[in-house]
Amino acid sequence: MSLPVTFGTLSRRLKSGITIPIRVKNGTGYMDSSSILAFRIKARKTYAVTPSGEIPTARGMTWLNPRLKKLGGWVPIGRNYTVNMHLVLKIGKQRGISGYILTFTDGTRLNLLPGYEKPFKKFFEAEELDRIKPISRPFEYLLKMGVRTVETDIRFTPTAELKKIFSTVGGQTVIASDLIASFLWQSVNYIRQGKPSIVANKNVRSLWYAIQPTLGRMGIYSDHYKTLCEQLSEMALQGILSYREFNLREEGKWALGLYNPHVVVLNEKTADDIGLKFIQDQIGISYLATGGQPSTLTMEYFTHALKKKLDALDEMPPLVIIAIVDYDPYGWLLRETAINAMINFGLPRPDAVINIALPKNYPQDLLHFLKNDLTKGKYKVRPAILRKWMKITNGIDGEPFGIPINYLWEDLENIKNLVLDDAKPYLLLQPPMPTRPWEEVTMHMEQLHELAMFTIQKMMRRTKACKK
């Protein structure tokens, strides 16, 4: 009968291999090879590395080698060590150490030196020893960020243990960014396991307050709030986690349109909130006021809500972005960042992107007073960025000038008309919009109620007649 399993795995499972003679006090003892992690040569003597420590063997490697070869699964990892691959549980890398770190079933760690990887690759049928292929993009990014597993809650883990995990090779400095990223990853995993979020209905600052004492214990007193925000934002953009999982409070200025939610007015300033609401009432569009660079938190919440609304429609309408941003390279960049964030969080690429702040939309006689020189002074833009923008827009009559959006907001009717002209071909419902939608919904419900009551009464009359 041929064995359906390999001898090595069977030997490991049954804890039975070949007998290895070892030196004991006043004589020779015997050990089973399946419980030995490795053999080590030190000062011309051979030792068996076991979970309980190193034991000198009675025979040298010359005697052991042919026997181990016959058994299979034993390979050298450097000049001094020959290890039992059946007992290797984990292979990884460590900063500042060349080669790989082998972790055995009992937690013992040995260094696999460069140049000795080949038999391992063959044994484990792996192209790379510390990476599996393929690997998902979010997880690969997580590996790049230096996130590590901590078995206990990082906030309540002893300082010495944290220092061991997060310090540099010298052991002197703790890498704050790694610790923060690991804390965020651990927190979201706790939530996924069903634990309540520690920052539910609070803001990102609360996450910082949660980890700040831990950093203080490690001797890190500088403000790493910005690091935390960056790490969180990157993790959200890469799809590793989401702000919604933390149930964070979001105070972004946005609203979805009731009748034309697929047309999104993207405004650079949050101060024009009332104007945006006015446009929404008139055209039924969605709006998002970014307030400079859009926050990832706001983008995620807005995109999620918009996606949900669009998915509920019978047919997906074309997504249209109407950008009300400054006519300059930074306005253009801001628009692109917002659109990319929307795509990243699950919306399709917009079918049309329309800009309102174009020189043609301003009174031509006032252009001279409104324009800003983008090559000098307050509005100076880096030449490379400016060149690229000029190629796309041609500035104002081929000159590197920009115009701020503020002037257009001075006349709400005018800016509404500009939005309407561009949005018209894409609108599901053309203006004038029902301006009191909730009143209409209530009236409709009342009508339905009356209709239902009429049918019920009719049925009841019939039943009575039948009974008679």
Partner 1 sequence: MATKKKTTKRTNRPAPKKDDKLLETLLLRLVSPLNALPVQTLEGVSYFRPENIAYIRTSPSLKDNDILAYDLDGNEGRLSITLSKLMEKLSPDPRFCKAHRSFIVNAFAIESIIKDPKTGRMEATFGKNVKGRAGISQDGINKVKPLLELAL
Shortest Cβ 302–partner 1 spacing (Å): 16
Q: Does 90 bind partner 1 (CB under 8 A)?
A: yes
Q: How far apart are the two ends of the chain, measured CA to CA in Å? A: 86
Q: Does 89 bind partner 1 (CB under 8 A)?
A: yes
Number of residues that bind partner 1 (CB under 8 A): 43
Q: Which stretch binds partner 1 (CB under 8 A): 3-11, 53-61, 285-293, 348-356?
A: 3-11
The one among 241, 255, 258, 322 contacting partner 1 by CB under 8 A: 241
The one among 27, 134, 213, 425 contacting partner 1 by CB under 8 A: 134
The one among 74, 100, 301, 330 contacting partner 1 by CB under 8 A: 100
DSSP E strands: which ranges in 308-435?
Answer: 320-324, 352-355, 372-373, 401-402
Task: Give whichever of 130 and 411 is closer to partner 1, judged by the CB atom.
Answer: 130
Shortest Cβ 143–partner 1 spacing (Å): 7
Distance of CA 311 to the CA centre of its chain: 23
Q: Does 190 bind partner 1 (CB under 8 A)?
A: no
* 194-197-201 Cα angle (round to 5): 135
Q: Does 193 bind partner 1 (CB under 8 A)?
A: yes
Shortest Cβ 340–partner 1 spacing (Å): 15
Q: Does 240 bind partner 1 (CB under 8 A)?
A: yes
* Residue 76 main-chain phi, psi, to 5 deg: -75, 145
Shortest Cβ 4–partner 1 spacing (Å): 5
Q: Does 93 bind partner 1 (CB under 8 A)?
A: yes
Task: Give whichever of 64 and 188 is closer to partner 1, judged by the CB atom.
Answer: 188
Closest CA to 423 of 355, 326, 359: 355
Closest CA to 12 of 92, 117, 85, 121: 85
* DSSP secondary structure of 173-187: -B-HHHHHHHHHHHH
Burial of 216 (0-12, 13-18, 19+ CB in 10 A): exposed
Q: Does 136 bind partner 1 (CB under 8 A)?
A: yes
Q: Does 130 bind partner 1 (CB under 8 A)?
A: yes
Sign of CA dihedral 135, 141, 147, 151: negative
The one among 42, 45, 192, 461 contacting partner 1 by CB under 8 A: 192
* Residue 356, C-beta contacts closer than 8 angstroms, at least 6 positions apart: 322, 323, 324, 405, 408, 415, 418, 419, 422
CA distances from 80 to 45, 214, 358 (A): 10, 41, 73
The one among 75, 83, 88, 289 contacting partner 1 by CB under 8 A: 88
The one among 131, 155, 163, 202 contacting partner 1 by CB under 8 A: 131
Instruction: Report the SS3 class of residue 412.
Output: helix
Distance of CA 228 to the CA centre of its chain: 13
The one among 41, 63, 111, 139 contacting partner 1 by CB under 8 A: 139
The one among 69, 70, 137, 449 contacting partner 1 by CB under 8 A: 137
Task: Give whichever of 138 and 219 is closer to partner 1, judged by the CB atom.
Answer: 138
The one among 29, 51, 60, 138 contacting partner 1 by CB under 8 A: 138
The torsion of the CA quartet 408, 409, 415, 419, rounded to 10 degrees, works out to: 100
Instruction: Report the SS3 class of residue 370.
Output: helix
DSSP E strands: which ranges in 290-436?
Answer: 320-324, 352-355, 372-373, 401-402
* Residue 139, C-beta contacts closer than 8 angstroms, at least 6 positions apart: 240
Q: Which helix or strand (DSSP H or E) is residue 228 part of?
A: helix 225-237
Instruction: Give the pair of three-digit tokens for residue 291.
Output: 């307030």
Q: Does 392 bind partner 1 (CB under 8 A)?
A: no
Shortest Cβ 406–partner 1 spacing (Å): 38
Q: Does 91 bind partner 1 (CB under 8 A)?
A: yes
Shortest Cβ 171–partner 1 spacing (Å): 18
Q: Does 195 bind partner 1 (CB under 8 A)?
A: no
DSSP state of 425: G
Q: Does 343 bind partner 1 (CB under 8 A)?
A: no
The one among 129, 198, 367, 412 contacting partner 1 by CB under 8 A: 129
Task: Give whichever of 192 and 461 is closer to partner 1, judged by the CB atom.
Answer: 192
The residue with tokens 């009359």 is 461
Gap between the Cα atoms of 322 and 263, Å rounded = 7
Shortest Cβ 366–partner 1 spacing (Å): 47
Shortest Cβ 28–partner 1 spacing (Å): 31
Question: Which residues lie across from 134 on neighbouring strands?
Answer: none
Q: Does 110 bind partner 1 (CB under 8 A)?
A: no
Task: Give whichever of 58 and 150 is closer to partner 1, judged by the CB atom.
Answer: 150
Q: Which stretch binds partner 1 (CB under 8 A): 32-40, 62-70, 235-243, 447-455?
A: 235-243
Q: Does 124 bind partner 1 (CB under 8 A)?
A: yes
Residues that bind partner 1 (CB under 8 A): 1, 3-5, 9-10, 13-14, 88-93, 100-101, 103, 124-126, 129-132, 134-139, 142-143, 147-149, 192-193, 238-242, 245
